[in-house]
Amino acid sequence: MVRLTLVLLASLLLSGCFASTLTKYEDDLSGRPVSHSSFADLPYEQVALEKRQKYKVASPLPVLDTPHGKAFVIPMDIPTGSKILYFRSVLSTASALTAHIVYPTFVFFDEDMTELDRVEPDLTARNDMSFDAAYFDGDVPIPESARRVVALFSPEHFGNQFRYEANIFVGTYSSGVMIGGENQIDEGIPIGPGGPFRLEFKEEAK
């Protein structure tokens, strides 16, 4: 009985720690001033083709003001030969029950900074044995005349949820005792203002 009580208390404590990460990202964004006035004003990053870029959507990324509020952005020059933009939104914690994700809107521009397209991709639940054990990802076709792209994490999506249906780790360990484990879940994963994010420009989809 004592052991069970300790396990439950540890589970509640750890869940509270995990859940607090969402508040930390929200506080981070709310405390940041708007750093750039427009998409044209952003510092566009040069990245290599077929090289995975890893980000944590949080300070010190640029912040834009949008009709829905402040948002972190990742502005990039599109490498020559790119046909596909691959993205991966990683769950913010190891426990899907207390995790959140970032949801990107991709805004494509031509050489003159004329907006060509805005893409809000469908996210697909994944689970594998890689470093990113649970994540959402997808391929986004790049418009032919696009030269720049901004990954925009808009507040219009904050609080929305995606259904996640996969066998993923929904527990944690405390003092060598496993709390939870591998389970089939279909709970909603909330969208938040920050978290782990990956990008890669490709010549073609794989």
**pLDDT for residue 135:** 79
How far apart, in whole angstroms, are the C-alpha atoms of residue 135 and residue 105? 17
- Decide if 103 contacts 153 (C-beta within 8 A): yes
Q: How many domains does the chain have?
A: 1
Distance (Å) of CA 47 to CA 63, 78, 162:
20, 7, 30
pTM summary value: 0.78
pLDDT score of 174 more than 60: no
> What range defines the domain where residue 159 resides?
2-202
How far apart, in whole angstroms, are the C-alpha atoms of residue 85 and residue 97? 29
**pLDDT per position as a tens digit, 34-89:** 999 999 999 999 999 999 999 999 999 999 999 999 999 999 999 999 999 999 99
Percent of the chain topping pLDDT 90: 54
Cβ atoms within 10 Å, residue 145: 12
**pLDDT for residue 61:** 96
**pLDDT per position as a tens digit, 99-116:** 788 999 999 999 999 999
Q: Is 179 exposed, middle or buried (0-12, 13-18, 19+ CB in 10 A)?
A: middle
